[in-house]
């Protein structure tokens, strides 16, 4: 059995994580211009990764074609042509480097999306375990001014604290 103070700490952490996810939802919804759900935001990030991967592949294929054409021109021994081919090779190498960076960025975004999905699933499971009423009570208790120091973040300003509406939306 879990000790009451440990349970309170877990519930406090859960309420704060839920509040942070709610805040992220509001911020991302503002960027999207609608009331997008968390799932649609992660889907949007997934789509961005997929689309940039397709664009990156198109760029790489085009650059490989350009490199092949430059290779043909390098057979010409005209000094001007050789100099221009060298310039083109330098520029294509920069594009290849940029595409490699884009690929790393896509991998990082994918890891962030997976982490967000993992967190939301587990937080939602905990919310279901403890129930809406208990977490609403905890959220109200955490948002209420207190003379005792807060366990993690101290008193929260109005509008920053987790609202009953946020908790209701979770179960909506």
Of 54-58, 118-122, 142-146, 158-162, the range with the highest mean pLDDT is 54-58
Phi, psi of 17 (to 5 degrees): -65, -40
Model pTM greater than 0.85? no
100-128 mean pLDDT = 82
**Neighbour count for residue 36 (Cβ, 10 Å):** 17
Q: Would you tell me the crossing angle of helices 79-130 and 4-32 to the nearest 10 degrees?
A: 140
Whole-angstrom Cα distance, residue 150 to residue 169?
25
pLDDT band, residue 148 (cuts 50/70/90): very low
pLDDT value at 80 more than 70: yes
- Percent of the chain as helix, strand, coil, to the nearest 5: 80, 0, 20
Short-list 160, 169, 165, 168, CA closest to 27: 160
Q: Please state which of the ranges 23-27, 34-38, 64-68, 86-90 shows the lowest mean pLDDT.
A: 34-38
**Neighbour count for residue 90 (Cβ, 10 Å):** 9
Residues 166 and 135: beta-carbon distance below 8 Å: no
- Supply the pLDDT for residue 91: 93
29-58 mean pLDDT = 74
When the pLDDT of each residue in the chain is averaged and rounded to a whole number, the result is 77
- Supply the pLDDT for residue 38: 59
Phi, psi of 41 (to 5 degrees): -70, -40
């Amino acid at each position: 059995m879990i000790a009451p103070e440990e349970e309170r700490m877990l519930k406090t952490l859960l309420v704060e994580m839920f509040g942070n996810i709610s805040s992220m939802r509001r911020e991302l919804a503002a960027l999207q211009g609608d009331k997008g759900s968390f799932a649609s935001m992660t889907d949007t990030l997934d789509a961005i990764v997929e689309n940039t991967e397709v664009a990156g592949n198109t760029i790489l294929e085009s650059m490989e074609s350009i490199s092949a054409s430059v290779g043909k021109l390098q057979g010409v021994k005209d000094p001007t042509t050789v100099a221009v081919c060298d310039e083109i090779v330098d520029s294509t190498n920069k594009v290849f480097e940029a595409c490699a960076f884009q690929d790393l960025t896509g991998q990082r975004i994918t890891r962030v999306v997976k982490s967000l999905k993992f967190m939301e699933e587990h937080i939602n499971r905990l919310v279901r375990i403890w129930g809406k009423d208990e977490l609403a009570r905890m959220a109200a208790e955490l948002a209420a001014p207190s003379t005792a120091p807060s366990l993690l973040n101290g008193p929260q300003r109005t509008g920053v604290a987790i609202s009953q509406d946020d908790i209701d939306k979770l179960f909506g």
